[in-house]
Structure 1
Amino acid sequence: MIRTKDLTVRFGEKTAVDRVDLHVDEGEVVLLAGPNGSGKSTLLRVLAGLLEPSSGGAEIAGQAPDSATVRALRGFVQDDPPLYEYLTSHEHLAFAARLWGVPVEDGLELLARFGARNWSGTLVRDLSLGTRKKVGLAAALAHRPRLLLLDEPFNGLDADSCGELARLLKEARDEGRTVLMTAHEPQYVEQLLDRHVHLENRSNS
């Protein structure tokens, strides 16, 4: 499902990701581990099609991460999801549903599973980080993507919502979908993981 070869990302003189070779097979649940600054979030952004590598390459299902085919099969949740602040939660989910070609109710059902359906009429800008995360998760997962890229998905969630997200990830694993994630709270998913991939800090030069 995911293949990278000598993947390197530089920002000026700083090397954020240094020659990473990563292989994640379809149906695997893999945790990206490593200290802050080791490039975990940057690597996920490359795989989400939001960053171009400085050198090396990445493929998802044999295609470039920014291809239309890959966008349709992927769901990406960032630590602080970049939502449209002047839309309500319902409007944001309706927009995402149109992009994915699914009913808005699919997203609202996920929001309800996180205990946040009552916030569907609230502007995104007025939501707490935890509720924003729930809206972002619902928007990204409503189309049941074959590949889930999750950057600190448990951050900001209450304990009940963390448990619900763990159940959603178990459902994804049982359905043979692929998950690549970072998490400072791996206890929620430890039993679901096929393996850890550890990234190390590298020199900034």
Structure 2
Amino acid sequence: MDELRNDVRNEPRDDLVVRTDGLTKRYSDRLAVDGVGMTVRRGEVYGFLGPNGAGKTTTLRMVLGLVRPTAGTATVVGRPAGAADVTARVGALIEGPGFFPYLSGRDNLRALARYRRLGDEEVERVLDLVDLTGRADDRFKGYSLGMKQRLGVAAALLGSPELIVLDEPTNGLDPAGMADMRALVVSLARGGQTVLLSSHLLAEVQEICDRVGVIDQGRLLRESTVAELRGGVTLRVRAEPEDAAIAVAMRLAGDDGVRREKDGSLDLDLAADAAPELARALVAAGLDVHEISARERSLEEVFFEMTGDQHTTKEKVS
């Protein structure tokens, strides 16, 4: 998986598939999206992250031309979002798939394909991509949530669109299905298609996305590569007495470079090669040292810190 992801990142991406400038949506007195400026590059997997109600789906709907912005602009493949010549170049699954309940999965896709003047062979291709061929003749109303989600992704892939927008694509899938979906997303980007997805599963985003945008309360807080967002390797320390350990840590890492976790350990903004110096300083101060280890923050930790989520387990030392 990592090899596939790295291959995608090494490909040149000079042109932008999606660009928004000052994108804003207001519903009466509620500001749902506030001046979002995001860029999605060709051939990448872009993760769009945010808490519930942060404005993710509204932003995606404006990118697709389904919702008219109050202010700002959105362009897709160099054209205004929602333009007729753009629609055929974009595939999307937003919120939940909608199909005719009494038609089979295959017939639902055939109806969509014929509307777009695509042949039955294209239907079979996308059914195979989402591993739904064996259940394609079952009626949609009898599908499980995961099967419905697979069919929705298959519909988004019809016609090999340049941009694929997926809102929670692994919703309802079992662990094996989630792994298959991750592999599919990476393979699409490797083949030159661009994937813009939102997901609550931050470990999943960390694994497959090249860049991410974090939105909260309608505002884009940060847009960068996953590696840049997570930052470099830091040092974790557990030593006693704790107050003395904090004093030593702050002397080496600076007043703002030490964070205390709820289990009493300390995270220091120091590179891994500073571990010997740190160990000597702690021992020289007469402390009992239980642990010094290098660690890298997960995307989930960074997300909670940025959005002020209550699940974060760190507090700044003061």
Q: Same fold (TM over 0.5)?
A: yes
Q: Does 1:98 align with 2:114?
A: yes
| 125 and 11 in structure 1: CA distance in 2 versus 1, 3 angstrom threshold | farther
Amino acid at match of 1:146: E
- Residue number in structure 2 paired with 1:70: 86
Task: Name the structure 1 match of 2:151.
Answer: 135
My pick for the range that moved more, 173-182 or 92-101, is 92-101
Structure-1 residue corresponding to 2:272: none
Is 1:176 paired with 2:192?
yes
1:22 equivalent in alignment to 2:34: no
* Correspondence for 1:59: 75
Q: 2:139 aligns with which of 120, 123, 132?
A: 123
1:202 is displaced (CA, Å) by 4.9
In 2, the alpha carbon distance for the partners of 1:104 and 1:159 equals 30
Which blocks of at least 5 consecutive residues in structure 2 are unaligned? 1-16, 220-318
The structure, 1 or 2, with the larger RCO (C-alpha pairs under 8 Å, 6+ apart) is 1
Runs (5+) with no aligned partner, structure 1: none
Q: Is the 8 A contact 1:166 1:189 kept in 2?
A: no
2:53 to 37, 41, 46: 37
The SS at the match of 1:140 is helix
Aligned residues: 203
Deviations 1:117-150 (A, max 9, x none): 2332233223222111111111111321110111
Report the residue type matching 2:104 in the other structure.
T
Structure 2: distance between partners of 1:105 and 1:163: 26
Q: Which residue identity lines up with residue 82 of structure 2 in the other structure?
A: D
Cα RMSD, aligned residues only:
1.9
Q: Percent same amino acid at aligned positions?
A: 33
Distance 1:169 1:60, change over 3 A: same
- CA shift digits 1:67-105 (9 cap, x unpaired): 122111111012311222232211111012223433333
- Asked if 1:79 is matched to 2:95, the reply is yes
In the alignment, structure 1 residue 191 sits paired with structure 2 residue 202 = no
